[in-house]
Chain A
Amino acid sequence: MKTVALLALDTAAARWATYADVRIVQMRNRALTTKNGRVGHASESESLGVGVRVIANGAWGFSASADLSDAAVVATAARAVEIAKASARVKRQDVHLAPEPAAVAEWTTPYKVDPFSTSVEQNLGLLLKVDAEVRAVAGVTLAETGMTFAREESWFLSSEGADIHQTKYSTGAGYTAYAFAGSEIQKRSYPNSFGGQWQNRGYEQIEEMKLVENARRVAEEAVALHRAEQCPEGVFTIILDGSQLGLQIHESIGHPIELDRVLGMEANFAGTSFLTLEKLGSLRYGSDLVNVVADARQEHGPGLGTFAYDDEGVAAQSTPIITNGRFTGYLSSRETAHTIGATRSGGTLRAEGWNRLPIIRMTNISILPGEKPLTLEQLIADTEHGVYLETNKSWSIDDKRYNFQFGCEIGWEIRNGKRVRMLKNPSYSGITTEFWNSMDAICSRDEWTLWGTPNCGKGQPQQVVGTGHGASPARFRNINVGSAYKS
């Protein structure tokens, strides 16, 4: 692979590219699903290709091909330079990259069990066992389970001398119980909705999720929601479970801190951001309890945003994003770092695969747990009146990331420190900074989980990557509840 990469770099240099990097990526995936006791989907896939990114005449060009023959690699690199020269015809200033030491490194996701070493029989056996448990509950009309593994091996070489070989593994699994009756479809998912829980680990991740053990409870809740009362509309105290808080972080912190959005580079599709540059260091983003980091390092945990080097060869870092409620950091790249006065990239440039240009993406954007010991049950016991919401059902936020609305699968009314009744169709909405400033409690480390969001879309052409979000349950005051069903 190194020979292929060097050929591409030599070709770009010979055509007067002032910078070039090459990413060769080999992907392997396994995807399995079941539905109502039968295998729904069983597939494996492999993909191999090379992407060449260059700067020529002060502008970017990128070309990618699945053909790794010498002739094709030369043509791909030459095409990248040709594209860059075309880009230079519509530019206002030259691209400059923040300096970065040229790393030479090898790194692999730490894992105990290579997921691809497990048998399909074992994988499907587990899913079908869960499926049977879910369908054993009367009233369940549809049971769906799924499990996915991915292995991504990449070789990154640059004209500056970087030579990085990384192999990342991710595993994910989950299930959903649906109950259709009368004029309602209700559902409950475990451990999270939209595919379950995902981390950069081996098969041990699956074994630790207690998928079977939770199946009956989850299915029973799906059916019980039909008997529950509609979540009332009004202004309430709410408590969010960790998975929902993870998505709240993703949408209302993770995306607005992407510096390319802030600078207008995503204005046509993903949108811009309310976090304009003058707010850095001064905006009161949240209450004093809100501490958020962007941390791609292994020591943060095995999140979907964990790696050793990003896709332009910058080492993984931890960046304080919100510190005691104050806005302190963006997600940046070598091209954009100078706009916030930084001398080095924050290391957040990532690509979906060999055929995509790396762009600024979330790594692991996590809220730090409370320092004082506080369990979820203690937090509920400390709440006089409110609604506890679990597991995301719908999510939407405007293109500057101010106004959001989330729906959850299930809610519980809290009265005098106790869950007193189940509520169906709970939702809440608000304005990002008002919401985070209303947080008055967050559970401690024992309740903290590094959740995985495997389906974050951004860019044109759109790229889907996984992001991590550490969170523990937290409480928010005076929140608009129920507007999703306001008629």
Chain B
Amino acid sequence: MLTRERASGIFDRIRRFSAADEVEVLFTGSHFALTRFANNTIHQNVEEENCLASIRTNFGGRTARATANQFDDESLKRAVEASESLARVPDPDPDLLPMPDANDAGDADRNVRATRFFEQTAAITPGDRANVVGQMVGVADRHKLTTAGIYSTSESLEGIFNSRGLARWHTQTLAEISITMLAEDSSGWQKLNSPDVCNLDPLQLAETAARKAVESARPREIPPGKYTVVLEPSAALDIVGFMFWDYSGMAILDQRSFLNDRIGTKLFGENINIWDDAGHPLQAGSPFDGEGVRRQRVQLVEQGVVKRVVYARGTAAKMKKSEYANKVGAIEPTGHGFPLPNEMGEMPQNIVFGAPENPQSVEQMIASTGRGILVTRLWYIREVDPYEKIVTGMTRDGTFRIENGKGQGGLRNYRFNQSLIAMLSNVEAMSVPIRACGEESFDMVVPAMKVREFNFTEVTKF
């Protein structure tokens, strides 16, 4: 893996090769390994090491980027030349800011109080992964099920150096297990990740997935319609994740956000509080953004009221001069920008839902539900209406009927068409938020949710 010292040396060489007014190099890289299993067999098993140096050059209000993964002089010179050639073409952008210095960027290290790099995760070998997979396959065999899934481990780096003296470096590890258990006409699923492999319990994940597969066997069909649902954290995460692209100053300026004309209004139920907080102990990722600016803790939603959105440096400056300046709450760089140049601006990616006053477990939510549906996982979610924030998708791998406070066996899978605004206005109960992950959205700290009048429109054939 690339070290900070070697990266600094590469940056120094790039500076020497460049004639630009300003130079920034964003380093990203990882040593990534993934063991994949299906039909109770390891069928794919991969490992890779790669590192990128992405060079941004500025010339008098113009900027562009070129990226290389070879660090010899010839490759770096070619990338510098490509970046500079691109940067010379556009007309100057009056809104382009100088690159941030250390003062502009803030102290990102303050964000993360504990390390996100764990030697025990980095040290996992192919043999270690095979042993764990073997144990999870053993669970499948014991329940007479077929299993498929992954066990991955990685160490990754992200660093930024620029010619105004800014230097940022972040390393972390991540271990992840995702497992599906399949029976003849049903299935169950679980997924979890953590920077520290010790936080994963593979056998518990396998047993839970197996229980869901067994208990949802011989699924029945009830008519589509509006039901109270209990969304497990992964399901809640995957659906709500579709709104966070809109919590962006640039999305407001572009008039492509469902929050246009709605910031400051009570859009959701009073029990909804949402932060973006890269420093939260259950979060992962780097403490700085694509320009190296410290990611700040930002409250996006307070008691159902959308308070504000996040900003890259350039977007904040632009917003202050815009017609929206008095309508969008606080405007300041929050450290959520994507690497420049880009057209999307920024987005919050370390979402943390506030804990409810009276948290309920999933079991308590089921017990208080007369008629409803328990959802393990949602799938293939896509936006139908960008302003009403209607999204569609399917249930998958563990959908259960709830009658009179009890689980009453498996259901076939359903298509939903649901407004996220309506959904977050109809949350009746939440669990303590946990670190969760899905497949449709990024990892979050999110609770299980009990939601009334969730809109299922069709049922599929299994």
Residues of A within 8 A of B (CB): 33, 35-36, 38-49, 51, 59-67, 79-80, 82-84, 86-93, 120-121, 124, 141-142, 144, 178, 180, 183-185, 263-269, 271, 274, 355-357, 359, 393-400, 402-403, 405, 407, 425, 427, 429, 431, 460-461, 480, 483-487
Contact = CB atoms under 8 A, between A and B. Distances in A.
Interface in B417-457: 417, 439, 455, 457
Contact of A403 (B41, B149, B256, B461): B461
Interface in B19-71: 32, 34-52, 54, 63-70
B458 A63 contact: no
Kindly name the residue among A33, A46, A47, A395 whose own CB sees the greatest number of chain B CB atoms within 10 A: A46
Interchain residue pairs A-B with the least CB separation, the first 3: A40-B343, A403-B460, A86-B126
A183 B65 contact: no
30 contacts: A36-B254, A39-B93, A40-B343, A42-B89, A44-B65, A44-B82, A45-B68, A46-B66, A46-B78, A47-B52, A60-B45, A62-B44, A66-B51, A86-B129, A120-B86, A180-B260, A264-B146, A268-B180, A396-B381, A396-B393, A398-B394, A399-B396, A403-B413, A403-B459, A405-B417, A460-B150, A460-B178, A484-B384, A485-B417, A486-B417
A87 B189 CA distance: 23
Contacts of B386: 185
Contacts of B32: 461
Kindly name the residue among B37, B65, B89, B255 whose own CB sees the greatest number of chain A CB atoms within 10 A: B89
A402 B187 CA distance: 17
B383 A183 contact: no
B256 A180 contact: yes
B7 to A, nearest CB: 15
A269 B439 contact: yes
A274 B256 contact: no
Contact of A42 (B65, B69, B133, B462): B65
B130 A90 contact: yes
Contacts of A33: 343
Contacts of A84: 45
Given A33-B343, A398-B394, A120 B137 contact: no
Contacts of A82: 126
Contact of B70 (A66, A86, A394): A66
Contact of A43 (B43, B67, B415): B67
A86 B386 CA distance: 47
Kindly name the residue among B45, B260, B457 whose own CB sees the greatest number of chain A CB atoms within 10 A: B45
Contact of B38 (A62, A264, A357, A427): A264
B327 interface: no
A113 B373 CA distance: 57
Contacts of B397: 399
Contact of B379 (A91, A121, A398): A398
B85 interface: yes
Given A399-B396, A403-B394, A461-B152, A66 B50 contact: yes
B457 A483 contact: yes
Contacts of A356: 46, 48
B219 to A, nearest CB: 13
A183 B89 contact: no
Contacts of B89: 39, 42, 120-121, 124
Contacts of B216: none
Given A44-B83, A60-B43, A425-B385, A402 B134 contact: no
Given A90-B130, A90-B133, A357 B46 contact: yes
A48 B70 contact: yes
Contacts of B43: 60, 87, 265
B458 A403 contact: yes
Nearest to A75: B49
A398 B48 contact: no
A267 B83 contact: no
Contacts of A403: 394, 413, 415, 458-461
A90 B41 contact: yes
B140 to A, nearest CB: 11
A486 B457 contact: yes
B90 A38 contact: yes
B380 interface: yes
A431 B415 CA distance: 12
A79 B32 CA distance: 13
Contacts of A45: 54, 66-68
B174 interface: no
Given A46-B79, A86-B45, 13 more contacts: A35-B343, A41-B342, A42-B63, A46-B66, A47-B67, A47-B68, A66-B50, A142-B255, A397-B394, A405-B392, A429-B415, A460-B178, A483-B417
A402 B394 CA distance: 11
A397 B255 CA distance: 29
B148 to A, nearest CB: 4
B382 A394 contact: yes
A398 B413 contact: yes
Nearest to A124: B89
A410 to B, nearest CB: 15
B244 interface: no
B392 A484 contact: yes
A460 B38 CA distance: 12
Interface string B232-276: 000000000000000000000011100010000000000000000
Nearest to B419: A487
B302 to A, nearest CB: 23
B244 to A, nearest CB: 17
Nearest to A272: B182
B152 A268 contact: no
B387 interface: yes
Contact of B384 (A51, A89, A142, A427): A427
B388 interface: yes
